[in-house]
Structures are given as C-alpha cells and as structure tokens.
Structure 1
C-alpha cells in the first residue's frame, strides 16, 4: 500500500480512504474503512476520464453487472455511486483476504490432483451461477481468482457482458488475457458461456502444473497457439488430463458445461483442505489478520496522528496491506491492454521429496547447479543468498549482485555497483535492501532489480535486522544505525565498541521496542529502538570471534503481549521482554564444545546445535526428543535452515551440508560440492540454496 498523495480523496461515501492499493489505465484502487470497521477496496475513475459520460456509465455498469450475480463464489459489491468533491464514480467491494491463484501457485507450488478437483468443482459452480444471471465473465484467469478460507472467489467483472455480446470494444482491441481467452474471443467473435469454460480449463492446467498451457514469446504468438495450436498438457497428471482437455476444445459446442465439469471433477471429501489447512491456509489467515490490524492501526479519526506502522507499510511498495488483501489490490485495478505472458522462469514451489527417498540415506541430486557463478569468500565470509519472488539473489562471481531464476537457475539480472559483503535484507515479499559501493542504502525490486529508493549517506557496512519502523545496520565506521523506512532517513546512530563489530559480527533481533545485539566479542547488548539508548549488557554469552544470531518469539496471554529472545553461545538462554529477565537456560554445551549454535524457532519449538547433536525445547524450556548426530564432528554456529520436514546444517569441517529429520533429528543425508570452506545457506519454496567455493546450488528437501 502506498500513502495518499495530492489529489487523492480522504473520504468516499462511508469509507475513509487510508492508502493506495494500486493504479491502472483508467483509475486508482484505494484501501478504505467505514465507521463500523469494515474494510473495502474502493475503485475510482481517474479525474481526466470521469467527465466522459460514456466511460462513467461503463465504469458503474461493472458494479451493476457484478451485483447481478448472487453467488457466494464472487466478490460482493458493497456500494457504487458518483460521489466526492469532483463527482467521480467509485465502486466499493469487500476486501478479500487471501492470495490470488497465481501467487499461491508460485509460492507453494502446483496443486495436487485432489486440490485441482476441489478448485474445479468450486469454480464450475460459480461459473454456473454467473451464467444463470445471463452473464459471461470473459476474463477468468489465475490473477482473477482469490483463495480465501471459504474457498476460491472469482473477481473482476470489468469486461463481463450479457451472453452473446461482442468481444471487441474498439477497433483492433481484444480485451482478453493471452493464454486464457477462448479462440472465439481472440478472433473477436460473439461469445457465450463456453468461452468461460475454455478459460477454466486453462486455469486448471496452470493450477496442476504451474505453467501456462498456451505460451509464447509475445502476445501474438500466444494468441496464435490458442486459435491454432494444441494445449500443452503433458505435465498435467493423467487422472486430470482427460477431464481438462475437453474444456480446451477449439469448437465451443464441444466443451462441457459448468454443471458437467462440477460432476466430473467431484473431489473426495476433505479435498478443500488445501485452503483450510497447511501453508496456504496459514498464509490466508496471516493476510486476514494483517489486514484487520492495518485497518485498526490506520483507522484512527483525524487529529489522533498517523500511525507509524501505517506510514511504514505505505512507504514499502507491495507491502503488508497488499499482501494481506491478496488479490484485492490486483483485481480491482482497472483493465489496461493485455499483458505479455509471464516469463517461463517464474518460481513455483519445488515438489518435496518422498520420505522413502530421505530414508535411503543417499543425498538427492540438486534441482540445478552447482553453477560457477558466485563470488569466492571474502575474509572467510560468504553472504547468504536471498530468495524473493521468482529469483535467488547472491554475490556474483564478477562482483556486485546477480539474480537467477529459482526454477531453473538461469540468470535474470545483475547489479554491478552493490557491495555483497554488507549482506542482503528482505523488506517485503518483493523488495530487498542492499548497500552500494559507496555505502548508500539501496532498496531494489527483487524480480526486476529496479531501484525503488536510495539513502546516499547511510554508510552501510552490514545489515542486521528490521522491525515495523526501522531497518538496523552497522555502518562502515562502526556505528549502530537505525533507518526510518517511513521517512527514508536516518533516525539515529549509536557508537559501538570496535571489538563488537569486527569480523562477521554482530547479529541482532528486535523484541518489541528493544534491539538485542550479539557482538563479535561475545557480549549481548540491548538498545532502545526509539532513540538507541543503552539498556543493559550480558558479557561472555558467546566466545570471542563468534556472533550468534538471536531468535525472537512474540507471545500473547492474559497479561498482554511479551517477547522471548533465545540466545546461543556458552548457554542456550531465553530472555523475556519487556525487561530482558532470564526465564530459562540450558547448558553448557556437550562434548567439550564451547558454543551452542544459533537457535531456530518453528512453531512452539526451539532448535539449536549442541555439540555434535541437535537439541529441541518447547518455549518454556522443557526439553523435547530430538537426537540428531552430526556426520563429521560438531556443527558450527551457522544458522539452521528449515524447509519442508528437514533441518539443514553446515558440517563443522566445511565439507558439506546435512539434512536432518524434524521428527527425531536423525541425519537423512549429507551432500557435498567436493569443496571446503565457508557456506552461505537459505531456504524458500521447498528449495535450499547453497553458496560454496564460488558455486550456487539449489537442493530439494523432504516432505
């Protein structure tokens, strides 16, 4: 969400306008909240177009068209009218909390057969309702399907028309998304409900494979394939292929009806669990909670002052409210010219390996790599790669940063004037912070590398962590730095002891209004996030020359909100904030080693390396059974990575990485690139990305 600018309305009808969700070729979409607390996506025609009576009528016709459909499978129109000082027409719809289908497939991978069946049955029922109202949607596609806790919702009736209406709106314009519009739409012929069935077939093929069934290098090539080519269904599971194929028939008369599709795809009981349980359901719940929180934070009446969290979220493009609303920001964008096909390298989650493979003890083959494209270690350090959107970003062999597609490892872009040694820090699901060669703080779009904004005088030496207001770093001159992300300015700086910032350190985490910093000298220091004031210091928590990343858990109970910070080092320690009081500790480490590793928190479990073993505790300090043994001696204090049902750790001698079962800690396998030295490691999308000895590798993990 972006902040309101000059000319943006403050209120439209009952809705107080809180921010901008996006803009299209004809208008803007705002995030609104009425006096009852109900949120809405409010679409407004651009001022320069509002005076055209034909456009205004067409704009409002979209609302009336959507209101004609009473199905629970579409987004409800809440209100539509001409209002405001400039008499611009606006439409308000319910704010859907959930990702669009294309975002969900990219984030979590293609749906299984049962999930596709559930999706097909639900969408077919919705199409049946749309057609029963005498309408044809005409633009069914993954971005126009929002996955909510109650199932898929079809959105955007911007080009919906009565049955048998012409597709062409102006000479030569075909408002249809390449690869999803039916052949008769592409050719500008009259269309009926069968056109939506063709689109549904293309949508289901995408959900089952993560790829378009019609694709090409440009729009004309895709449209030619739709009209003359055969759909690519080889990757569709065999049990679904014969059901999807009839939907994609060139002749509309040969396509099944939505009712026939719903019957043919009848899913087994519980098949809808894909949006009720698991990672997708958690994503939907998180987005809903964040949307509600944002509405509460920014819903203060004028005079109470703006919420800093609101301003921060607004300043970060593609930030939390857009994420919370899922497709709400996207689908209410007024239509523009059809977009070019999605690049073939876009990410989707890798398939998890079956447990039988893991139990064999043999390391799997990489998904791709090792590729000799990464930088060699500098001063014994390898920056961890960062995966965002469709790419993994890393320190490049020839200097600067490079990004390769997560799907196949092919290069996408390069940024030569960036210093990788400062590390990379994600700001949103799309943006990351990097340091320029002069120390400037730079914020880039991960998918395109486009510079979003820059703070030239930040003098960034190494990024640490962030919270809802600030990004924290250590400057090249040894200062602790807080950058206000709302104002894109330095908020405060604080001198640090030289011995705390040497080497690879420090590491940090935020607990409420406290920044907890683990220095390279082994001391842990606490600072106020508001002004950077010193609060307390724990000397000797770690050994000199080894800063260990803290982990934080936010907890709520009858006494309010508290934070627990977990520290590795000479003991595994839990501190409660506010206050920083010790609540439990375990240690010293076993087997003659002198350091617990960096703790990793997953759900209600804290996991850390303890000598040659993995140890697990619940959040209150009770030890849990987890008895993994390292392959070659003690595991170092390198952060663990969890993907799927495996924990990944770098072996102490630097000769490989091992995967351990999250169930009992048993070592599943050890994989080596036949090299020694430091490793950089991160995980995303059921992949583990490794950088070692100048090579970049993507590994699968186990489910």
Structure 2
C-alpha cells in the first residue's frame, strides 16, 4: 500500500480514492471510501496503456462479469463499475493478506489452514467447472487470506497475468504466471489445468516451496511435463491429495468437487469457524484493517478534488534475464507470423485468441521470479510535496522459495528490502527442445535470440466469461459418461441444458412422465429429452403456460391463463385446444390462476372474471351513480381425459382477475384441502381472519365445501402441508405443529430454535421431512413428531428455508436454496453431496441470482437455476 501518485484518479463514481493498494499486470487496485466512512472498497482500475485496446476492454469486462456470476461464498460481489469515467470495478474491502504475503510473514501454513484454503478454492472451482469452463485465475497474488476464510480475486488469465502489453494494430500480449503439463505438451487447458495449479498452490502453502519450479529452463519444462514432484515436506495427510492434483495426465486428477469434499466435507466455512489463521497472520490482518480505516483522502493543493484520470505508471514487467528465460519466460516477442511455422496451420485466426479477439490477443508463459510485496513500501496519504517515514503495514518477510509466479514489479521506496533473487536460474533452452506445432489449438513454443515465448491459441484457453458462451445447450452432443460417485462430491451431470433467453418473462419448468423436461415462457414451449438433454421440439403457439402435466392418450397437458392445450410429446403439435371463453359457460373472459393440483385425471384450479354491476336508476333530483366492477371467482374441478368440467363452486374473489390462488394442502380419498395464498386475500379476509390462515375442505365428488377453519395460530403466509391420513403440519412461530384436520386439535409440537421458522415439510411414508430458516433439514416420525435426524446444509444463515424435493425412488432428499443444492440420504440424513453453479447471465450482462429448484424425474433429479438445467443421477 502506498500514497496516491500525482496523476492517480481521486474519485471513482461514488468512491474517493485513499491509497494505492496492490498492482497487477493490467490494473491498479485502489483503496477507496464511499459516502459512509465505513463504506470501504477496493477499486480495480485498468491501466490506460491497455484500457484503450478493444481486446483488453472486452477481456476486462468479461472477467468482471465472471466475478459477478461467481459472487457469493469466497467471491466478493461487485458493488460498482464504470466504463464512462475510466474502466474500473469495485468490491467491498475485506481485510486480508495475499498467500505470498502470508508465507513471507509466517512461513508455511498449518495443516488445518491448508485444508480450509484448498476447500474454499475448490468450492469456487467446482462452480466454474460445472459449465465445462476454465478459471485460470489461481496464483499466490490472487488468493487472499481473510479472517473467515480465503478469497479469490482473479477470474481469468488477465487478472492473474504476470505481464500484459499492447502492440500496434490493437494486439494484446498477456504472459501467464504458470504452466501445466498439458500446456507444455502443446495441448489446450481444461478444468483439470486449474486442479494442477491448485496442487501447486497447496504445496506452496504447506511448505513455503513449490514443486517442479527450480532448476534450469529445459529441466524445469521437462519436470513439469514428465517429472515427479518432490512432496516429502508436505504433511502426510495432504500428500496423496496434492500428488493427485499434480498428476501429469489431466484425466487422472481429481475434480474440484472431490478436492473440496476430501479437504472439508462440512464445507470450508464450517471448518473455518472459530478462526483458522496462525496468530501472526491474524495480527497482520487486524493491523491492516486498522491502518486502512485510519486513511484519509489526500487534498488537492489547488483546492477541491482531482477529477478521474487514467491510472498512470508503467505496466509491471520483469528485469530482462542475463542468460535467457525459463519455459514461458519473457524473451523477445514476435508477431504471430513469426511465431508460427508457415506450414503448421497453427494460430491462423486464433493466435492467442481467448474467445473474443482473433489475432489480437496472445498469452505467454511467464518467467518465474519472486512476487514483489508492498509490505515494506507502505506510505499513508500525505499532501503533495511532503514526505515522511511511515512504518510498514506488515513486517518484511524472511527469504523463502517462492511460487513460480511473476508478480508485478514496483520501484522500491527508501528503506525497502532488496528484491529476492529469481526462484529459477534462467538459461536458454538447448537445441534439443524444438519448436512444436500441434494444430490450431496448440500451445506453440518459439525460440528466438536465446529466449523462449509461449503462445496459447485462443480456442485452447476456453476461458470462463469470454464474450463467447462458455457452455452452450446440449442439442448437438450426447450425455457425458458419468464418473464414479465420490462421497461429498456431486455426481457429474448427465447433461446440462441452457434455455435461450428469448423472452424476459420467468421460465416455467415441468417434467412429463419422466421422459421430457418441458419449458415455457412468453416465446413458446420447448421440450428437452430427459435421457440426453437434447432439445426435442419447440412450439411458439404454446407460450405462457403455467403448468406441465401428463394427460390422457399419452399427451402433454399445458395450462395458460386463458386456455388448456394438449400437445404431442413427439413433435409438440397441438392435438387439442380448449379456450376458456368456449368451455366455461357463464364465466365470460375467465382467467385462471396458478393450478391448485391434481389427482388422477382430475385437475383443480381457480378462475375469475369481472362483472359490471349497473348503478341503480337515480331518483328525481339525484345525480346518476357509476357502474362498478365486481370480481367473481370459482373453484373448478376439470377432467383432463374427458376434457370437460366436473364441478364448480363459487368462492370469495381475490384482489384481481386470475385470483384467488389456492395452494393444495392435502388430497384425501373423499375430499381435498386447500388454502388461499396470503397475497390474494382481500382486505376483508385479512380483517376477519385476525392474523390466522383459513383452510377450506371440498368434497371431491360434488365440490361442496365441507368446512373452513383456522388451525391454532397458523398465519396466512406460514408454511403448511397435509397428508392422506388427515393431519396438517404447519409452522407456528419458531415451531412446527401437527393438527388433526377433523377436529382442529393439535397432535404434537416440534420445538425449533430462535428464529428457526420452519418451511414447507414433505411427507414420505412414515416420515415427515422438515426444513427451517436456520438451514437445517431433518426427518421426524409423522405420527409422533419424534426427531430421527437433523443436519445442516452448511449454508450461511439468512434468507428462507431450503425447499425440499424427494427423489423419484424416495432415497434422496434434496434441499435447494439461493446458494446451493444439498443432497441427503432420506433414511438417516447422511450428507451425500452439494452442488453450485456459476449462475446465469442475461444478454445485457446482468447477473441472475435466482434460487435453485429441483424437479424429480425417475432416477434423475433436474436442478434448475433460472435458465440453466443439470441432470443428476440420484438412485
């Protein structure tokens, strides 16, 4: 951290710059304060020499969008961004030190801290790899150690680059800070490449040294590709896992989910409770926080604040090696035409392209050298023209063998320690390492003037968050062969499908006979094969459906607010269409609310229409009155096979056409129990209810209302569900109560903890599965309320209770919330696995943070998050 320079910006939107914090190849990170003194942020501002390059701007925006999609967990959300007053993004400031700083301060981390670090990073990688994309953002300088766990700050090769440089013609060269065996061998980087680098990071964290990093260039390259890492100093309990990550064959490396589960089955957050950093690091983080909060913005000598200007200063680079460079070193760079053999075909149209700028972006391997820390160069903000000796933010570290990562170079201030020597001797590669050309997606090695440069083809990088989609629909590819199940890790999805964002309206999803996933929005209906994830058909004339159900004659039934449709499951052709205006006599212009439920071929729903009531004829001398609009509502039973109304009964109308909305509570042999959604109650209903919910019971044969009563003090919006035996289970305050519906008397009470607030339970056989806002899932005996098991999802508290779904075979209970899906064994509550994706993104780049939803379909469960769908085997 150092004082602002003369030409540094003083404001970034609502934030006032306080000091320079850290730097990397493409940007400077500033500490800044918002209008509130406690509103501290880290602003990442692009360097002007690069910000004017279109390829850089696109990559900067792309990696910022990736950060937005990953927000949550160990990734800080973006709180502000701009392209008008400079290219920058801002995240909330969290006191933390980088991994390289931590090793310098306290030496190798204890085993427990390494586990938490690895689990947190692996959890984030798991979300990225769920789409088949690659992060390429891991390095000691991009990983922060905060009081409550690790944080990741780079979301692509640009954020983790050791050097970035713009060339004439708009070309951008980016030199990466690490290599993997597949890259050395001329193959493309995949998700397993992130695991190799994770293994290097964990070894570095555990020992203070990085395997495969030292020695001459050719030997280092040979070891990276074929050598065995020296892991003798790694703690024995971590050695096998790290060795697996460093396997030469990408297919032999564990997945990110496997690593996360092996390091911390309860999750990194759970393992980190109570503290996880060694005392020196805890003190350093606290000291940093105190110094940062004491910073004051510098004053402009002329008066007022300096307007935003581009961040000046040289792009970080490294001293030219005397005797050459290591693999991926910073030797002389050539234009693509020089770097690619004329007859190879490699690089044409893709020289370093990362998915958006063919022929404009190159990635180069970086020479290893010591990351330069700003520990001993800290200056607090002072008025211009003054100097003062300021104690360092953190004490200088002892010399350690660094990770082979080329961090940014910075000029040392007076009193700063001399830079440490390079980790690897830099020598020119011998002639026995010839240039390789292995095709359009190859990593190409060129030898020129005694230095080696590494150029990655853009298609080979497959970077998450590029302008091209990282994961497309699976219409044209078969389902992947699943990997063997590993405890704690979510099974590989059999397929993933992303529905096109062709309409802004919410997406309705339903399963048809365990064969089709049917999706509808205002643009139409789409059917996806549940076995393969391939799109089967699309129908524009089936738009706006609210529910998907099987119907007679093997047809697929869709309900919209104004009509019923029966579609062929083979091609989506509409076989039958019933318009409400034609079907339901006496209810003109009827609109249906969300369907209540069904049993067999009978469907229940509410419908309403508006009737005009004429004003009475005025008496002589009186002014004529106004006609009024009155809503009339009915509860219908409808036979899907015969396509005819069974019965209807008038019910109190809701607040608008299409309501009231009745929620199905229980289906019994002779009757059906429903409750009106709280949002559709009239003011009179609310007043008469006196804070209580009223449940209605209707005869299934005639539609006659049998009773309408409250149960205890169950509120109108409280979670509730019934069973065929006549019990009602409902949340009352922090507890869950069971009532006998015939008499309304309570049967048993399950006491919760403070603010637990139970969600909707799920009955299954003799069990009742429970959920609450304390992120606890459990099972009790339906007859007695005796607790059989209770487990936590390990999701941070906040928000509502997870939504429960029982798999088709009844053996797996899936809990879905806004953070993840957690799978439990329904019988004994064993935590099986958890799943997180990276979120969806609309065409304008806004992050979608919709909660997860689970649909049971035979032996698979489909996990939905907005427009992304994943098929998991569960039985």
Coarse TM-score class (shorter-chain normalised): 0.3 to 0.5
* Structure label with greater radius of gyration: 2
* TM-score normalised according to structure 1 size: 0.41
* TM-score normalised according to structure 2 size: 0.33
- Higher helix share goes to which structure? 1
